[in-house]
Structure 1
Amino acid sequence: MACSLVFEGWPAFTAGVLGTSSLTRGWPPNLAHGWQVCQFVQRRAGGLVLAEHGFHGAQEGSYMAKILLVEDDPSVLRTLERMLKSAGHDVLGVGDIPGALQLLEKEQVDVVITDIVLPGASGLELLRHLQDNHPHLPAIVITGEPTLDSAVEAVRARAFEYLAKPISKHQLLRTVGQAVHIKYLEDERRRLEAANRAYQENLEKLVAERTQALQKSEASLRQSEQQLHALAARLIHIREAERAQMAREIHDELGQLLTGLKMDLHWLMRQCQDPSKKSTPEAIARRLQDALAITDDTIKCVQRLAAELRPSVLDKLGLCAALRHELRQFADRSSLEIEINLPDEEPPLPPEMAMAFFRITQEALTNVARHAQATKVTVTLRPAPQGWELLITDNGRGIREEDILHSNALGLLGMKERLLPWGGSVTFSAVPSGGTCVRAFLPRQSDNNRGNDHEKHSHSG
C-alpha cells in the first residue's frame, strides 16, 4: 500500500512503498510527522485509503456513479466535471456547502468530492455533516492549500481520500473508482446483513409458529386422549347401567309374570293329581284364562325388552319407519311438537350405518329433552352431495361453543365416534334464530364396502 501527498510550495514527490526509510530522509519534521499519520490511517481497521495505488478491484471507468462535486472555482469545477463525465459518471456540480446540503436532501449520490476552502464555510464542515448524517457515503477531499492540520481533520472526519491540486485525470478517476467500489461492497454488505437479519427473524417467527402449532396439536391430542378415556369409562358405565336396568325389569316384571303363570299351572296340576280337590269346569276355565293373559303379558314384556336392546322395526321395516316410531314415542313422552322430513324411499344404507343414524337421533332427542328448553324438534333425513345427512334441529336455547369443546361433553363425543368407522362426521352448531342443529353425515360412495367390512369384522370378532 502506498500514499502520495502533493503540497504546493514544496518540491513534488511521490511516496513508494511504506516503511522505506529513504522516503522521509531530509523531510521537514512536520511533513515527516504527517507521513506517519498517513501510515496510521492506512493501517486502522476499516481503513481510510489515501491514494491506495495497490488496489486492483476498481479500474478507471469501471464503475459509473452519481457524484456530488463541491468546488467554488468555476474553471476547476468545469475541468473536474469534464474528467468525470468522460468516464461516464453523472456529476452534480455546486459552489458552496448550502447548495451541497440541498442536493444531498434531494439526490441519491454515490460519492462526494469537496474542496476545503469554500465560501462561508470549510469543506471539513461538510465532511462532519456527512459523518453524522451519511456515514456510508465516501467523501474525497481536494485542496489547493494542503496542510497537516487539514489532513488530520479530514482523517478524523473519515474522508476516503485527501488529494492536493493539481490532480491528474487518471488519479481522479482511479480514486473515484476505488470509492465507488468500496461503497458498493459496503452497501452489499449491509444489504446481505439486512437480508440475513430478515431471514433469521422470519426463521425465528416460523419456528415460533411451528412450535406453537405443535404445542397446540399436542394439547389437542392430550385432550382427545382424555376424552377417549372418559368416553370409554362412560360407555362401560352406560353398559353396566343398562344391564342393571335390564336385570331389574326382568326380575321385577318378567319374573313376576312368570311366577304368576307358574302358580296357575301348579294349581291346575294339583287339580289333575288330587281328585278330592276337583274344581268346577268354570273355575278351571278361569284359571286357564288367567294363565293365557299372563302369557300374553309375558310375550309383550319380552318384545319390549328386545326392542329396547335393538328395535325390531329397524330390521324389519328400515330406518325411516324406525325413526317415525321413535319420534312418535318421544312426542308422547315429552309433549314436544315434532316435524318429520323423511325420503319416500328407504336410504340404501347397510344395517350398521342405519343403526348409527338411529342411535344418534335417540341421543340428540335425549339432549333436547334434558337441556334445550325447546318446544319443537325437526328431524330431516335427506340425500347430500356424495352421501346422506341427518339433521336434528330444535328451537331451544342453543348450544354454545364452550359446550361443544367441554371435556365432559361425552354424549357429543359418543355421537361423533359412532360414524368414524365409515368416514362419517357429526357437527353441532347454534341456529341463528335460536336453537341447536345436529348434522350427521355418512358418505355414499363407500357405504356398501365399509358397511360390509364392518359387518365382517363384527362377525369375525
Structure 2
Amino acid sequence: MSDKHIKWLILIIPTIVIGLWEYVRHEFLLSYISMELGNWLSPVIVFFVTMTFLVPLFRRYEKLQEQLKKERAEKAVLQERERIARELHDGIAQSLFLCSVQVNQMKRKQPSDQEWEELDKSLRQIHDYVRYSISNLKSTPAPTPATAWKVHLEELVEQFRLNTGVLVDLQLELEETHLTAKEKIELFACIHEALTNIQKHAQATKVTILLGSTKQGWSLVVEDNGQGYIGNPFQQPNRFGMRIIQERVSEIQATVTFSRDQGKTKLVIYKGDNENGYSLSSGDRR
C-alpha cells in the first residue's frame, strides 16, 4: 500500500463510517434506538473504527515516512561519496601525477641526486592511496534489497576471479534480512578491500568467503592460502587498507581480527559474540 493510498484511507474511512451509521440508524433503527442514544453512539462507533482500522494505518504511514527519511539520508551519503571521489580524481590525483612527471624530468637532469628517488617513491605511495580512496568511494554499493546485494557481491567475486585467476569459494549462509543497510554497505567494502589486499600481497591460489550466523549475531570470514604477513597489519605504515577496514567495522559496532594458522590467513569480522576466540597472532610471516 502506497503513501498516497494510506492518506486517502485515513481521510475517507471516518466519513464513510459515520455516513453508513446515520443511514442505518434512520432507516432501520429509529424504532429501537432513540435519537439521543443514537447521537451518543455515533462518536463511540467512530472511536471504535479509528482504533481498529486507522491506528494501524497511522503506524504504517509513520513506518513509510521513516523508511523514506532513511533512504533519503543514505542517498545523500552516496551522493557525497561520489562528489568526494570526483574531487579527488579531478584535483589531487591529477596534481600528484603532474608532480610525478616533473620529478622524473628533474631526475633526468640530475640523475645522481638520490633525494629524487625518495621523493618519487613518496609521490607514488600518495598517488596509490588517493587512487585506492577513489576506488573505494565508488565501489561501495547503494543500499538495495537483499537479493540485489547478494548479486552485487557475487559480481565482485566473479570480477576478482577474472582479474586474478584465484579460485573463490563464496558461502552466504546468513539471511540478508539479519543485516542492516549500513552493515551491507560496510561489509561489501571490507570484502572488496580484503580481496584487493590478497591480489596485491598474498600470492594466494584459493580464497574462502563465509558469511554466517552465530548464537548472538553474525560473522564474516575471509580466508586465503597465501604467504601471510609481517607484524601487525593494522599498525604498519603505508598500509591503509587494514586501517580502513577497522574504521568501517567500528562504524557498525562490530569487531575485526586477523590471524595466521596452518598456512592460512584469516580475516574475521564478527558482531554479537566472540565465541570462536579469533585473535591476532604472528603465525607464518612474509
- TM-score after normalising by structure 1: 0.29
Tell me which of the two structures has the higher relative contact order, counting C-alpha pairs closer than 8 angstroms and 6 or more residues apart.
Answer: 2
Higher helix share: 2
- TM-score after normalising by structure 2: 0.45
Structure 1 or 2, whichever has the larger Rg, is 1
